[in-house]
Structure 1
Amino acid sequence: MNLQYISDSKGQTTGVFIPINEWNDLKNKYKNIEQEEISVPEWHKDLVLKRLEDYKQNPSSALDFDSAMDDIEKEL
């Protein structure tokens, strides 16, 4: 994909230009790509709420980000 990044005067990326032919390919591949509303299934919400409740009841059982990444990298 031939993307062009758009930056402001401070060098911060503010946008991305996608050539129209590549945009049309994406729209064909992902039929709802232009849909603004993102729908999260109820079972996802329920799972997140359950995990949040588990964490609140036992915060010491959670790993910090670096420890979690170390564990993942060990398995690769």
Structure 2
Amino acid sequence: MKTQIIQDHNGHPTGVFIPIEDWEIIKNEYPNIEATEKELEQWEKDIIDQRLMAIEKNPELLQPIDKLFQELKR
């Protein structure tokens, strides 16, 4: 998968571009991926908040997305 990080004028990541072929594969594996009308449960929001705080405290722990994809392929 060849993704591209989209950045704002300050170089901060604002999104990810996924080639359409890869998106179709993802949609086949996760048919409800486009169902965005469901509100997240509070426990899910809490986990996200905890992870964001951890990243804010230790940004050097972030890894490139390509490293994740390599790990997932194994």
Question: Structure 1-normalised TM-score?
Answer: 0.48
Q: Which has the larger radius of gyration?
A: 1
Tell me which of the two structures has the higher relative contact order, counting C-alpha pairs closer than 8 angstroms and 6 or more residues apart.
Answer: 2
